[in-house]
Amino acid sequence: MHYDLIIRNGTCVLPWGEVRTDIGVRDGRVASLTAGIADDADEIVDAAGLHVLPGLIDPHVHLRDPGDASVESIPTGTRAAALGGVTTVFDMPNTAPAITDAEMLRWKQEYASRESWVDFAMYVGATRANTPHLGEYERFDGVCAIKVFAGSSTGDLMIEDDEGIRRVLEHGHRRVAFHSEDEYRLQARKAMFTPGMPYDMHRVWRDEECAFLGTRRIVALARRTGRPIHILHTSTAEELAYLPDCRDVATVEVLVNHLTQVAPECYEALGALAIMNPPIRDRRHYEASWEAVRNGTVDTIGSDHAPHSLEAKARPWPATPAGLTGVQTLVPVMLDHVNAGRLSLGRMVDLMAAGPARVYGLQAKGRIAMGYDADFTLVDMKARRRITNDWIATPAGWTPFDGMAVTGWPMATIVRGHAVMREDTILGMPSGRLARFAP
């Protein structure tokens, strides 16, 4: 049998477990899980000593495009994703201008299809003005979900009131993703703080109740309207104890930062380079996040890659912008957690491949199985590397994990049967396509 690609000698993480087998690819899809020794291919990848994972997905990135290309863009951000072993990204809508109407959606569809190194999906930002059209926009090619900023945004993208959120939930039928901090509490507490206070005050201002109150309000509205929701970057022990009882409407994301960094130490070590929303919290919330990973509460893990220039980050708190780089470091950091025994490799794949596909209705991705897209992340679980700023492809040029030693490293990124990265080298030309979703 002839294939376009055969991946031989790897330990493949299939939906039913780890199997030593050879994978045959034809026309960008998995054509065989048992390619024989006599079978040939246009290209053969020897994966001896490597694990072959389904293509890993980062369902939460801000590629800032349109915006400031000196900080990030779709070409640079998807290049970073490929270097980090990520085969598909879901890009947020708070750009300049924002992705909130048909014109900007069509612009982004065309641009991403031409410039992305990996497969690509986009959120549509909900506004008061576009609410009646959201049911139409969520069906555009490449749209993964509607995104609602119920806190921590500006201008038209902020919908903080119950009536506005309810109206969004009544237009369309697919799952809606939420930034769920409570804007009213944020504004009420703002006067407690003054410019130049320590960076650790960020988590005091945006406290646990700010997040938990927002999540409780949104869950109640989801139940009232019967609309499924996804709570992004869940960060508190309180939310993670509450959300298992909300499975009728809610799924859950946590971020790699909330599984890796702990306050107050992160603020002491990194200063402004630890400022993100929701904030990195203390060890009680860190431990709760890991327990939620272990007990199945968490459905997806993302990076919330949201770069800013070092110049902007150097502003005193609270003027420093919130957001960290992360799409390129997501996979190495999570592989290190696997090697540290915090979760199994199978659970990591569930959270970073099958989970996003299940939550968002992503078609033909998320697992290695017959007929699925031939997306693979090949990793060396024994490789010892150090994450450094000079490895980062994002123009902002920094990572909060600079200097971190990790065990486990992405060795190849294959998207629909085409190798995009091998051994830290980008190959070919951008060939990403818009991801497909259930209607």
Task: Give the active site residues.
Answer: 304
Alpha-carbon distance 190 to 115, whole Å? 41
Instruction: Fill in the DSSP letter of residue 359.
Output: H
Alpha-carbon distance 399 to 296, whole Å? 29
Q: Are 181 and 211 in contact (CB under 8 A)?
A: yes
Alpha-carbon distance 122 to 141, whole Å? 9
206-244 burial: b if 16+ Cβ within 10 Å, else e: bbbebbbbbbbbbbebbeebebbbbbbbbbbbbbbebbe
Which pair of tokens denotes residue 12?
């493949």
Which residues have a Cβ under 8 Å from the Cβ of 342 and sit 6 or more positions away?
259, 290, 293
- For the chain, what percentages of helix, strand and coil (3-state, to nearest 5) are there? 30, 25, 40
Which pair of tokens denotes residue 207?
């406290």
Question: Could you please report the per-residue DSSP string of 369-438?
Answer: -TTSB--EEEEEEEEEEE--GGG--STT---TTTT-EEEEEEEEEEETTEEEEETTEE-SS----B--B-
E strands, 281-334, are 300-302
